[in-house]
Amino acid sequence: MKSLLPQNPNTKIEFKKENLREIYIAGGCFWGIQAYYSRILGVKESISGYANGTKENPTYEEVCTGTTGHTETVKIVYDKTILSLEKIVEIFFKIVDPTQRNRQSNDIGTQYRSGIYYLDENEKEIIDKIVESKGADYENPIVTEVEKLKCFYEAEEYHQAYLDKNPGGYCHVNFDTL
């Protein structure tokens, strides 16, 4: 089955290590978040995983119980000379409803909460400004977590690039905004 997803514009870019940065984005099932961000010019890689919980190296089944504290999250490695952190956060607001607590569309549970997890305190200031400015765009308050990344564990291989491998797979993200 041919994929209905847009092509990835990053496949021919030679990324320089010194220009790479990381940010971690959560917003419902990681399949759509991963597929969407992987198609943004300047994203070297996007990896599905589990962030900011209490259990070391959790499995998908454990995360789904809601007892590990993890959220389905995507590690985004991007080239800061091509793509800014501001743009990455702006994109987040195009594909996630930041006012829904512990859910996105049909995805319900604490593992589906929305979050933006940073590595550097300077990034927090940038993220907070954007989140604050977006507040006026919504009737309800934004409940997206903005926190320093505590931990991240890569999800099982079958979750990586899931929508590329399963073009008809479930996804709550609207790719028409790409």
Annotated catalytic residue 171: no
| Interatomic CA distance for residues 154 and 95, integer angstroms | 22
| Interatomic CA distance for residues 129 and 39, integer angstroms | 25
- How far separated are the first and last CA of the chain, in Å rounded? 21
Q: What separation in angstroms does the CA of 132 have from each of 121, 126, 142, 147?
A: 17, 10, 9, 15
Task: Using the Cα atoms of residue 130, residue 136, residue 138 and residue 140 in order, give the sign of their dihedral.
Answer: positive
DSSP 153: E
| Interatomic CA distance for residues 98 and 31, integer angstroms | 18
Q: Copy the structure tokens of residue 170.
A: 């479930």
Q: Which residues are catalytic?
A: 29
